Amino acid sequence: MADNEENLENYEEKLLNLVLSAENGNHDYSKLLPLEVLRDIFGHNGFKPQQQEIISRILNKEGHSLGIMSTGGGKSLCFQIPALIQKNLTIVVSPLIALMKDQMDNLLKKGTNSAFFVNSSTIHSLT
């Protein structure tokens, strides 16, 4: 039981450090429009269908949003762009470790803070 409590405390400390890192990041995208972030950070000239509507709902705090899109439809940008503009910690649940790693690697290449968790004891983080 003591080991579980120690692991949880360690996990909580790592998570808190990641939150503080996200809040104190080197980049401030808060003054950019979503299309500017899309072009400047992600290198795309325009949104795919539904992306702009979902991103706008999130940024305008219009309640909960659920985006159901096909593979390759651009779901990741629907949470990544608002997270960068709002400079908030964003939590995404994904069943695929390879997808989490790929998204983290791509965000790191763009100069953003990023981390992913695998189970309750392993944190992969590079900032």
Q: How is the chain split into domains, by residue range?
A: 1-27+90-127, 29-86
In angstroms, what CA-CA distances link 64 with 50, 59, 70? 15, 11, 20
Residue 48's pLDDT is what? 93
CA distance 72 to 69: 8
In this prediction, residues 41-49 reach a mean pLDDT of 92
Look at 93 and 79; give whichever has higher pLDDT: 79
In this prediction, residues 12-41 reach a mean pLDDT of 77
Q: Which amino acid is at 64?
A: H
Q: Which two structure tokens, joined as six digits, stand for 115?
A: 């981390």
Res. 105: pLDDT tops 70: yes
Res. 81: pLDDT tops 80: yes
Residue 18's pLDDT is what? 64
CA distance 60 to 123: 31
Average pLDDT, the chain: 78
Predicted confidence band of residue 108 (pLDDT cuts 50, 70, 90): confident
Residue 1's pLDDT is what? 46
In this prediction, residues 63-77 reach a mean pLDDT of 86
Look at 28 and 1; give whichever has higher pLDDT: 28
In this prediction, residues 3-27 reach a mean pLDDT of 63
